[in-house]
Amino acid sequence: MTEFKDKLKAARADAQFTQQAMADRTLISKRTIEKWETGERTPPPYVQRFVLNELEELKAEK
């Protein structure tokens, strides 16, 4: 089973966003994104779905 941190890193890279660019576009702090990507913290499932869906939409805009 793929962990959220791995899914997030892959989705962000696929959307061609740096952590800072993702933070600017989603209004989620860069530090929070860093903690999610290192596995230091894991958001609740509903936030995980929201973030991954948001990255998909942002990718489609490019």
Tokens 């939409």 identify what position?
57
Would you state the structure tokens that stand for residue 5, as one six-digit string? 């941190």
What's this model's pTM, rounded to 2 decimal places? 0.89
Is it the case that residue 62 has pLDDT exceeding 80?
Answer: no
Q: Is 8 exposed, middle or buried (0-12, 13-18, 19+ CB in 10 A)?
A: buried
Instruction: Tell me if 25 sits within 8 A of 51, measured CB to CB.
Output: no
Q: pLDDT (tens digit, 9 = 90+) per residue, 46-55?
A: 999 999 999 9
